[in-house]
A and B are shown apart, each in its own frame.
Chain A
Amino acid sequence: MVEMKPVSGIYRVALKLLMNDKSKFTALLVGITFAVFLMVMMMSMFSGILARSCAPVYNIGAKIWVMDPAVNNTNSSIPMPDYILSASRSIPGVKYSVPLYFGSALVKLKNGAYQAATVVGLDDATLFGRPEMIEGRIEDIFADNAFVVVKDAEYAKLESPKIGTQFEINDNSATVVGLAKVASSGLFGIPTLYTTYNRAITYIPSARFTTSYVLIEPKSDADIPGIQKAIAKLGYEALTRDQFVKKVSNFYTYKTGVGMNIMMMTAISFVVGLSISGQTFYTFILENIGKFGAMKAIGAKGNELVSMILVQAVVTSLIGYGLGVGAASTFMIIAKWRVPDYAAQLTYPTLGLALVMVMIIAGFSSYIGVRKVLQIQPFDIFRG
């Protein structure tokens, strides 16, 4: 008795037809792999840029950020009057609130060169938002002229200072009292220094107002909407961490050209993949069209031929997807190893979006193949 199984044999035939045609299969894989590689690289780059643009928001870790409504990214803070801090402390639902200074300064290095640096001034009373120390003690930040240096990819730009190293910052003397690490480095490739709020506003020239952000800890998450309304009545904006991240992301995505340029490159990669695989798959189907017609004559049903073509397109696309993601990951690992500033990061949404795009490529490629195969009539085979 012959063993019966569902249509798996048909799929095996489909894959043999495809994979035994080595030149076309290779061309299909190269096309899809290249397209996936480019799409993943572009989206990872964008994702990395966005993550870095929001680095201070992640690093400080406050639940609510109060700012001028015109602020659209962390580096362009607009100083607020001191009464905002006082007023925020009297809003119902606020557990505590602290000021944060965020600005930039020029550091004069031993060799006489100047290096721009980001200075974060933490609330003197609580040091809320402090970084994780890797050398030294955070309490030493209260010492005279004390600064903590973030040891990240930009650290070497300050000539890799150690505890006790002295330098000038905006013509004021400064001493390194510790080295710290943060979750994410900034976007602009400049080193970061932490000090106290009061020292920061003393060392760095500023306008009449000095508070860059007010950081609020609510008593509970349920208090957040009320706090946001109360701050809005003061003419300012209170955003949760996610809202602030979204605001900054939207700014870079839609208002700087970064998003549009990367989106265009991603679209070009998609079109390249679509055209290479679509054209190659179409040629493959055309070459075999007589055989598919013969199969129809022999007794293959339309849905069986369609499923064969879908299997061919989906398997090719998934292999190309795997190779493309593998190539992009390898490239990113090597790039991060050689270039510490390299921003690209591979995220699940990127992988998901690339998979969707690859499935569209597979769908398009199979659609043109399916159309052709369904059009062929067995009678055409007899007529030659």
Chain B
Amino acid sequence: MKGSVIISASNLVKWFGEGEARTVAVKQASFEAQYGEMLYIVGPSGSGKTTLLSMISGILRPNEGSVIVENQDIWSMKDDDLADLRLNKIGFVFQDYHLFPRLTTVENVAIPLILKKTEWNAAMELARDYLDIVGLKDRADLQPVKLSGGEQQRVAIARAIAGQPDILIFDEPTASLDGDTGRKIVEFVKTNILNEKRAIIIVTHDSRIYEYADRIMKMEDGKIVGYESGYENSQQHEK
């Protein structure tokens, strides 16, 4: 399993607006992500990394090109099938976490399970197990607002893995955290969440966490301009 291709994107193009107002956000982007890999997409603001992330995760339809996830051309699917694919194969950790403040932590984690129509009590039980994985079992019945930023991030991770996805998508996971907490979170993800049956794709600006990447894909002006290993990049950054 490890090393085989899980996502294959070919010639992805995405533009916004029409006529003179048209802005091309992603230009002919092609890449592959592999099982067992932690792939970073990095680049300056406006380079198209979030747009690319959205297209490969079945959220934003490309104008041109295709995305194959586990041998399925996702953009030939109907909307409901695409929603099922996201629910069953992709886990998201959003920059602002987007936890429901009126639900308890365990209820937030259980959302993907409930969407999969798991019975309520069973979903809560499973969600507690996932909270245990991220070290927050004792916080299960608190509301997210009572947790620190790092804890909320870990709740979001628990929610993302609760659906047992093959692909985990992180959007700027350290943006709202201090450097130390951010590094700990990513280290935790690499050590405990990544496995040979799963790929993790992270969009980030934060060079302090480059050392945890297996590969770093660089983007500029909507184009993929190159790859580096995480180790190489972190060495350069230190120099």
Is B208 positioned at the interface, with any CB of A under 8 Å from its CB?
no
Give A16 to B57 CA distance when docked, in angstroms. Answer: 29
A7 B50 Cβ-Cβ under 8 A: no
> Across the interface, do A299 and B54 meet the contact criterion of CB distance under 8 Å?
no
Give Cα A301 to B111, complex, Å: 13
Q: Does B228 contact A (CB under 8 A)?
A: no
- Cα separation A13 to B120 with both chains bound (whole Å): 10
A299–B83 CB distance below 8 A: yes
Are A382 and B115 in contact, CB atoms less than 8 angstroms apart? Answer: no
Main secondary structure of the interface of A (DSSP, over half): helix
Q: Which of A2, A5, A10, A17 is the one whose CB lies under 8 Å from B100? A: A17
Inside 8 A of A293's CB, which chain B residues have their CB? 98
- CB B49 to nearest CB in A, in angstroms, measures 10
Closest Cβ of chain A: how far from B38's Cβ, in Å?
A: 19
Contact B92 A9 (CB under 8 A): no
B114 touching A17, Cβ below 8 Å = no
Is A290 on the interface with B (CB-CB < 8 A)? Answer: yes
- The answer to the question of A372 belonging to the interface, with a C-beta cut-off of 8 Å to chain B, is no
- Total of A-B residue pairs, C-beta within 8 Å: 104
Within the complex, the shortest CB–CB distance from A199 to chain B, in Å, comes to 75
Knowing A21-B102, A294-B92, A379-B59 are in contact, say whether A299-B87 is a contact too (CB < 8 A): yes
Give the most central of A3, A12, A297: most B CB within 10 Å: A297
Min Cβ gap A265→B in Å is 36
Interface size on B, residues (CB 8 A): 38
By a CB distance below 8 angstroms, the chain B residues around A20 are 102-103
**Which of B50, B53, B96, B115 meets A299, CB within 8 Å?**
B115
Judge if A384 is at the interface, Cβ distance under 8 Å. yes
* A100 and B138 alpha carbons, distance in the complex (Å): 84
Contacts of A294 in B (CB 8 A): 92, 94, 98
A9 touching B102 by the CB < 8 A rule?
Answer: no
With an 8 A cutoff between CB atoms, is B112 at the interface?
A: yes
Q: How far is the CB of A12 from chain B (nearest CB, A)?
A: 6
For window 1-31 of A, CB contacts with B under 8 Å fall at 2-10, 12-13, 16-17, 20-21
Across the interface, do B59 and A299 meet the contact criterion of CB distance under 8 Å?
A: no
Contact between A13 and B107, CB atoms less than 8 A apart = yes
> How many chain A residues have a CB neighbour from B under 8 Å?
36
Contact B112 A9 (CB under 8 A): no
* Interface pair A298/B118, CB less than 8 Å apart: no
* A4-B119, A9-B118, A16-B107 known; A299 vs B88 contact (CB < 8 Å): yes
CA distance A13 to B159 in the complex (A): 15
Complex CA–CA separation, A9 to B103 (angstroms): 13
**CA–CA, A2 to B84, complex, Å?**
18
A17-B103, A293-B98 given as contacts; is B112 within 8 A of A299 (CB)? Answer: yes
B117 touches A299 (CB 8 A): no
Separation in Å of the B194 CB from the closest CB of chain A?
A: 20
What's the nearest-Cβ distance from chain A to residue B195, in Å? 21
Interface check A288, CB cutoff 8 A: yes
B89 to chain A, nearest CB (A): 9
Is A140 in the interface zone, CB < 8 Å from B?
A: no
Q: Is the CB of A9 within 8 A of B117?
A: yes
Q: Report the minimal beta-carbon distance from A8 to chain B, rounded to whole angstroms.
A: 7
B83 and A300 contact, CB distance less than 8 A: yes
**Across the interface, do A384 and B96 meet the contact criterion of CB distance under 8 Å?**
yes
| CB within 8 Å for A3 and B107 given contacts A13-B114, A382-B94, A384-B95 | no
C-alpha gap A304/B79 in the complex (Å) = 13
Of chain A, the residue at the smallest CB distance from B60 is A379
Q: How far is the CA of A369 from the CA of B99 in the complex (A)?
A: 19
Q: Return the contact of B98 from the options A6, A9, A290, A379 (Cβ within 8 A).
A: A290
Cβ 8 A contact of B126, one of A2, A8, A300, A379:
A2
CB distance from B157 to the nearest CB of A (A): 13
* In the complex, chain A residues 293-331 whose Cβ is within 8 Å of any chain B Cβ: 293-302, 304
Beta-carbon contact of A299 and B114 below 8 Å: no
Which residues of A have CB within 8 Å of B99? 291
Whether the pair A304, B115 counts as a contact (CB closer than 8 A) is yes
Given the complex of chains A and B, what is the CA–CA distance between A379 and B50 in angstroms? Answer: 9
Cross-interface CB contact of B117 among A4, A290, A379, cutoff 8 Å = A4
Shortest CB distance A158–B (Å): 63
Alpha-carbon gap, A5 to B115, bound state (A): 11
With known contacts A4-B118, A16-B107, A299-B84, A383–B50 Cβ distance under 8 A? yes
Pairs across A and B, CB under 8 Å, 24 listed: A2-B118, A5-B118, A6-B117, A9-B114, A10-B114, A13-B111, A16-B102, A288-B100, A290-B98, A295-B115, A297-B57, A297-B59, A297-B92, A298-B87, A298-B163, A299-B85, A300-B87, A300-B115, A302-B79, A378-B59, A379-B54, A382-B94, A382-B171, A384-B96
Q: Across chains A and B, which 10 residue pairs bring their CB atoms closest together, nearest first? A: A299-B87, A294-B98, A20-B102, A9-B114, A3-B119, A299-B86, A378-B59, A379-B60, A5-B119, A301-B83
